[in-house]
């Protein structure tokens, strides 16, 4: 079953300018971790806004959980969807971290006696349990992103959309949040994730990669398939993950590496043989 | 203009339920005209530290001296008990040196010399045109309008935005272009020290590289560049000196090459990918020389050299 289906989606902010999203079609199957990559201005963030119903008046069709996204369906759809944006300041409502996580739960009429254990679980998962009684304003950018993510995870969404949600985290923090998300997906094989990111290493770990350029979808496939197109990716200002760059650099220098060497660990063993 | 921190501590919201200690007894000398990276996990105190340098925050105790300006606590500390006359005199002399009264024009002068580009600076753009937005800084520091516009044009060209951008609205630009406008806004005031907080967050790899090369050029032109980041790949490629922060303290100050190659997980940091991979090859028995490696191509060549020798 497809959780997201997008057909021929087109949108422009201004009739006189070229389309920010231009005839895009793709689908995201249930239980998959899909990454969407592209350079600044490629249309990724516009696509995120379209999917979350923040922009209406588009052409084409978006279907999420089997329902077409429209004014009268978006609230129903959002109940099962968690959104985390790049700048968490735009998302805070509570005066403490605890209130902020509780806000979403209150909206879903979770009973107050059930709330504390949920808040404890998710704040400790993202490493922010010690900060529950602090004011979000006094947190660093990366800590705010952790809180925003905890708030979304606490609501047990069936679909998570990240729009550059870990851009302010340090590499270890970034990996932690990715591990948490991958673990949640492993615990709940129905959890679907669409992550809009610049982090090619995250794309390398995902199930499926979509690549956007100038509003169009230009490549899609498994990480192995997509990152084999290094020249094409470079021409649209995207890097390859470290593994692919190194493999290519070795190939260019006349070292022959068999195709079955497709992970960093295998490459280490191969080079040390 | 060097920057010297002396036993500086800082507490957010002291004596309130939200009290939290952010910087703890920092003593640190940052030399001038260098490319300096400040690294550490989120919440380690990096952003708080840099806000002391242009006096957006003032220390709770200790001080930081930037050229002839000293950023000190509002209240003078009590003189410790049991000092002899000589010590009392020395204490008084030091107190007089540190606790200069600042007029608002002194702080303004400091902020002209120390330019600070915050995280996501594009959220601070506000004027109708790119040119006006960039000229706002110098005008605010009392530069005549024509001169401010001229500095704005120069700064925009330096960040790679040509004439076609000058009269456009900053709000219709892409994220990467907006960030360049914001950086130009600081460059237009010709700071002697440029502090940039996570300047590549949210930028695609190509735009990130352009931005870092711009900072290198600015350093080459004689400006101190202080980069706050947790991207160790940037540190490996661009920085001359690295300051490692952890829990509000300075844990280590050294050259990047000295830092990489040891276990950085204690600081919640990772070695740059190239060093990380080279280290794992070493552990698996390949003798590989990591000295001077700065890119994937350097690594590939080091691997090939070690295979030929082995």
- How many CB atoms within 10 Å of residue B258? 11
Closest chain A residue to the Cα of B209, Cα to Cα: A237
pTM more than 0.95: no
Q: For residues A15 and B68, which has the higher predicted lDDT (pLDDT)?
A: B68
> Are B165 and B107 within one domain?
yes
Q: Is the pLDDT of residue B161 over 70?
A: yes
pLDDT of residue B186: 95
Q: Chain-centre distance of CA B47, in angstroms?
A: 8
Task: Give the tens place of pLDDT for each residue, B188-241.
Answer: 999 999 999 989 887 777 788 889 999 999 999 999 999 999 888 889 889 999
Determine the distance from the C-alpha atom of residue A86 to the mean position of all C-alpha atoms in its chain, rounded to a whole number.
Answer: 10
Q: Using one digit for the tens of pLDDT, what is the confidence trace for A107-126?
A: 888 888 899 999 999 999 88
The shortest C-alpha distance from B132 to chain A (Å) reads: 23
Look at residue A42 in the predicted model and tell me its pLDDT: 87
Q: Is the ipTM of this complex over 0.85?
A: no
Q: Residue B310: what pLDDT?
A: 64
Integer CA distances (angstroms), A245 to A73, A201, A234, B216, B274, in order: 44, 12, 11, 24, 11
Average pLDDT for A229-255: 89
Q: How far apart are CA B25 and CA B5, in angstroms?
A: 9
Which residues from chain B sit within 8 angstroms of residue A143, using beta carbons?
42-43
Looking at the fold, whether B146 and B276 belong to one and the same domain comes out as no
DSSP B38-101: EE-STTSSHHHHHHHHTTSS--SEEEEEETTEEE--SSPPPPPSS--HHHHHHHHHHHHHH-PP
Indicate whether B263 and B279 sit together in one domain: no
Q: pLDDT value at position A240?
A: 85
Q: How many domains does chain B have?
A: 2
Tell me which residue of B172, B239, B179, B170 sits closest to B207, measured CA to CA: B179
Mean of the per-residue pLDDT values for chain B?
90
**B194 and B233 housed in the same domain:** yes
Cβ-based neighbour number of residue B190 at 10 Å: 18
- Which residues of chain A are within 8 Å of residue B203 when distances are taken between CB atoms? 40, 198
Q: Which of A138, A237, A246 sits opposite B204 (nearest CB)?
A: A237
Share of chain B above pLDDT 70, in %: 99
Predicted confidence (pLDDT) at residue A172 exceeds the cutoff of 80: no
Of A45-49, A134-138, B79-83, give the lowest mean pLDDT range: A134-138
Split at pLDDT 50, 70, 90, the class of A196 is very high
B186 and B150, same domain (yes or no): yes
Q: Between B77 and B113, whose confidence is greater?
A: B113
For residues B185 and B279, membership in a common domain is answered with no
Indicate yes or no: CB of A250 within 8 angstroms of CB of B281. no
Q: Which residues of A12-43 are buried (b: 16+ CB within 10 A; e: fewer)?
A: beeeeeebbbbebebebeebbbbbbbbbbbbb
Kindly give the pairing relationship between strand B193-197 and strand B114-117. Answer: parallel
Query: Are B101 and B213 found together in one domain?
Result: yes
Q: Which residues in chain A are closer than 8 Å to B297, comparing Cβ atoms? A: 249
Contacts of A170 in chain B (CB under 8 A): 40-42, 230, 268-269
- What's the pLDDT tens digit per position in A183-193? 888 888 899 99
How is B138-181 classified by DSSP, letter by letter? HHHTT--HHHHHHHHHHHHHHTT--GGGTTS-GGGS-HHHHHHH
Please report which helix (H) or strand (E) contains residue B251, including its range: strand B249-254
Q: Which residue has the higher pLDDT, B193 or B298?
A: B193
Continuous segment of H or E residues that includes residue A22: strand A21-29
Q: Residue A67: in which H helix or E strand, if any?
A: strand A67-68
Q: What pLDDT is recorded for position A34? A: 96
Distances (CA, A) of B221 to B13, B196, B214, B224, B295: 39, 17, 11, 9, 25
Average pLDDT in the B30-36 region?
96
Q: For residue B307, name the pLDDT band (cuts at 50, 70, 90).
A: confident
Comparing A122-126, B40-44, B61-65, which segment has the lowest mean pLDDT?
A: B40-44
Cβ pairs A/B, distance under 8 A: 124
Asked if residue A147 lies in contact with residue A139, where contact means CB atoms within 8 angstroms, the answer is yes
> How big, in percent rounded to 5, are the helix, strand and coil portions of chain B?
45, 20, 35
Are the Cβ atoms of B176 and A41 closer than 8 angstroms?
yes
Q: Report the range of poorest mean pLDDT among A194-198, B5-9, B60-64, B207-211.
A: B207-211
The Cα of A133 is separated from the nearest Cα of chain B by a number of Å equal to 8
Residue B151 and residue B178 in one domain: yes
Domain residue spans of chain A? 1-80+160-166+192-225
Q: What are phi and psi of B50, to 5 degrees?
A: -70, -25
Contact A138 B20 (CB under 8 A): yes
Give the per-residue pLDDT at B102: 87
Please tell me whether residues B252 and B280 are part of one structural domain.
no
- Sort B82 into a burial class: Cβ within 10 Å, 0-12 / 13-18 / 19+: exposed
| Whether residue B163 is found in the same domain as residue B278 | no
pLDDT of residue A30: 95
CA torsion angle B56 B62 B64 B70 (round to 10)? 80
Instruction: Look at phi and psi of residue B170 and say left if phi exceeds 0, alpha if psi is from -120 to 50, else beta.
Output: alpha
Give the pLDDT of residue A24: 96
Contact B176, A41 (CB under 8 A): yes
Kindly state whether residues B280 and B212 are assigned to the same domain: no
H or E element in which residue B281 lies: helix B273-283
The pLDDT of residue B139 is: 93
B38: domain CATH number? 3.40.50.300
Q: What is the mean pLDDT of chain A?
A: 89
CA-nearest residue to A176 within chain B is: B268
Residue B20 burial (CB count, 10 A): 17
Lowest mean pLDDT among A1-5, B13-17, B87-91, B219-223: B13-17
Range of the domain at B310: 272-310
Q: What is the DSSP string of A192-228?
A: EEEEEES-HHHHHHSSEEEEEETTEEEEEE-HHHHHT
Q: Are A147 and A126 in contact (CB under 8 A)?
A: yes
For A45-83, write each residue's pLDDT tens digit: 899 889 988 888 899 999 999 999 998 999 899 889 998
Q: What is the CATH number of domain A1-80+160-166+192-225?
A: 3.40.50.300
Contact status, residue A153 vs residue A146, Cβ threshold 8 Å: no
Same domain, B283 and B219: no
Tokens 């956007």 -> residue: A212
Q: Write out pLDDT tens, residues B260-280.
A: 867 787 887 888 888 889 888
Query: Is the pLDDT confidence value at B115 over 70?
Result: yes
Q: Is A253 on the interface with B (CB under 8 A)?
A: yes
């Amino acid at each position: 079953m497809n959780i997201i289906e997008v057909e021929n989606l087109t949108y422009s902010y201004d009739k006189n300018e070229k389309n920010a999203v231009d005839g895009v079609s793709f689908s995201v199957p249930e239980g998959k971790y899909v990454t969407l990559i592209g350079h600044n201005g490629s249309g990724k963030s516009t696509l995120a806004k379209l999917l979350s119903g923040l922009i209406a008046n588009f052409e084409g069709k978006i279907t999420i959980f089997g329902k077409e996204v429209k004014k009268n369906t978006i609230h129903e759809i959002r109940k099962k969807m968690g959104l985390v944006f790049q700048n968490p300041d735009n998302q805070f409502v509570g005066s403490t971290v605890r209130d902020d996580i509780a806000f979403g739960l209150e909206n879903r009429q979770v009973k107050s006696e059930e709330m504390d254990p949920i808040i404890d679980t998710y704040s400790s998962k993202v490493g922010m349990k010690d900060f529950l009684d602090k004011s979000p304003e006094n947190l660093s950018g990366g800590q705010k992103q952790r809180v925003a993510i905890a708030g979304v995870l606490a609501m047990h969404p069936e679909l998570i959309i990240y729009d550059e949600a870990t851009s302010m985290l340090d590499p270890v923090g970034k990996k932690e949040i990715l591990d948490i998300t991958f673990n949640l997906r492993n615990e709940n094989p129905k959890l679907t994730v669409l992550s809009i990111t610049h982090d090619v290493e995250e794309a390398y770990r995902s199930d499926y990669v979509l690549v956007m350029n100038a509003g169009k979808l230009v490549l899609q496939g498994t990480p192995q398939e997509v990152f084999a197109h290094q020249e094409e990716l470079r021409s649209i200002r995207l890097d390859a993950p470290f593994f692919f760059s190194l493999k290519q650099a070795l190939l260019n220098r006349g070292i022959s590496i068999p195709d079955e060497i497709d992970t960093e660990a295998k490459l280490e063993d191969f080079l040390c043989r | 203009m060097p920057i010297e921190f002396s036993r500086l501590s800082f507490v957010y919201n002291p004596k309130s339920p939200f009290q939290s200690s952010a910087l703890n007894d920092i003593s640190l000398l940052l030399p001038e005209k260098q490319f300096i990276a400040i690294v550490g996990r989120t919440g380690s105190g990096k952003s708080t530290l840099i806000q002391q340098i242009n006096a957006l925050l003032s220390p709770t105790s200790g001080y930081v001296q930037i050229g002839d300006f000293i950023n000190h606590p509002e209240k003078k500390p009590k003189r410790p008990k049991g000092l002899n006359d000589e010590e009392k005199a020395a204490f008084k002399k030091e107190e007089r040196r540190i606790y200069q009264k600042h007029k608002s024009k002194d702080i303004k002068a400091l902020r002209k010399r120390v330019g600070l580009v915050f995280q996501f600076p594009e959220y601070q753009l506000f004027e109708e045109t790119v040119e006006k937005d960039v000229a706002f800084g110098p005008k605010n520091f009392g530069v005549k309008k024509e001169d401010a516009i001229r500095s704005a044009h120069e700064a925009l060209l330096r960040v790679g935005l040509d004439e076609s951008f000058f009269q456009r609205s900053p709000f219709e630009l892409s994220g990467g272009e907006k960030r360049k406008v914001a950086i130009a806004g600081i460059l237009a005031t010709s700071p002697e020290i440029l502090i940039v907080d996570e300047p590549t967050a949210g930028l695609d790899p190509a735009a990130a590289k352009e931005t870092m090369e711009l900072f290198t050029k600015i350093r080459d032109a004689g400006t101190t560049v202080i980069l706050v980041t947790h991207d160790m790949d940037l540190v490996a490629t661009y920085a001359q000196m690295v300051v490692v922060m952890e829990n509000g303290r300075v844990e280590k100050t050294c050259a990047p090459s000295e830092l990489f190659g040891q276990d950085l997980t204690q600081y919640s940091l990772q070695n740059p990918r190239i060093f990380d991979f080279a280290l794992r090859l070493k552990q698996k028995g390949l003798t590989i020389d990591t000295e001077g490696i700065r890119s994937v191509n350097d690594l590939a060549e080091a691997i090939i050299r070690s295979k030929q020798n082995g």
